């Protein structure tokens, strides 16, 4: 796929989802980081319900640490994998205070050193919180990119590399959001709604 083709697909999807944006609710870089960690294998709607209560109790690294493991687990229980997520959030909070003066780091290498922060989480934070040209590959972006022929990658990292090649750097954040929206609301894993898809003419999966 050439860059012009990818940008054309992006334009069509952007027209379908003009309000595509991060659907997690947050008021600070740290809140976003916590919300993204919680969103692993959990819907954004569920995370927003959980963080509404969580952030009422604690919404800073200091506050999170003051909760402790047990209290934090109870507050995030419905997000799934709550024990591991609580450990990751507490570790992140401690590292941010100890090594980053209480502020969420704004580089990829620093972010992925935080416990529970992988490529996807780091790229979401860099893109959404710091307006850096990154594209996070979650399950929706992975599926839609492969169906559309934007990438033949077999891992999130390889798909990320392909998308960075076919999209203009300044379009990566927009591409991230519209690909997620398309996967979430139209190009679903099961029973994709091809009838209402604006890019079937460019979709290798549909053409096949």
Pairwise CA distance, residues 183 & 91, whole Å:
32
Residue 147 · residue 203 · CB < 8 Å? yes
Q: What is the pTM of this model?
A: 0.92
Marked catalytic residue, from 70, 87, 95, 138: 138
Pairwise CA distance, residues 21 & 191, whole Å:
24
Q: Which residues contact 28 (CB under 8 A, 6 or more apart)?
A: 59, 60
Marked catalytic residue, from 120, 132, 157, 165: 120
Q: Is 29 a catalytic residue?
A: no
Per-residue model confidence as pLDDT tens digits over 49-104: 999 999 999 999 999 999 999 999 999 999 999 999 999 999 999 999 999 999 99
pLDDT classification of 116: cutoffs 50, 70, 90? confident
Per-residue model confidence as pLDDT tens digits over 8-64: 999 999 999 999 999 999 999 999 999 999 999 999 999 999 999 999 999 999 999
Q: Is 19 a catalytic residue?
A: no
């Amino acid at each position: 796929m050439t860059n012009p083709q990818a940008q054309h697909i992006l334009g069509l999807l952007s027209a379908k989802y003009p309000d595509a944006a991060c659907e997690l609710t947050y008021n600070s870089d740290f809140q976003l980081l916590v919300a993204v960690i919680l969103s692993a294998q959990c819907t954004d709607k569920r995370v927003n319900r959980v963080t509404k209560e969580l952030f009422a109790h604690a919404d800073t690294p200091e506050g999170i640490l003051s909760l402790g493991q047990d209290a934090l687990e109870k507050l995030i229980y419905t997000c799934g994998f709550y024990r591991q997520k609580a450990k990751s959030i507490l570790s992140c909070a401690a590292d941010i205070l100890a090594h980053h003066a209480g502020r969420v780091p704004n580089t990829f290498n620093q972010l992925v050193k935080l416990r529970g922060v992988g490529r996807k989480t780091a790229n979401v934070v860099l893109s959404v919180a710091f307006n850096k040209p990154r594209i996070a590959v979650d399950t929706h972006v992975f599926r839609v990119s492969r169906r559309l022929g934007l990438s033949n990658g077999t891992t999130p990292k390889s798909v990320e590399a392909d998308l960075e090649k076919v999209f203009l750097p300044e379009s990566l954040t927009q591409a991230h959001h519209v690909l997620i929206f398309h996967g979430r609301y139209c190009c679903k894993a099961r029973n994709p709604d091809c009838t209402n898809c604006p890019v079937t003419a460019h979709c290798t999966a549909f053409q096949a």
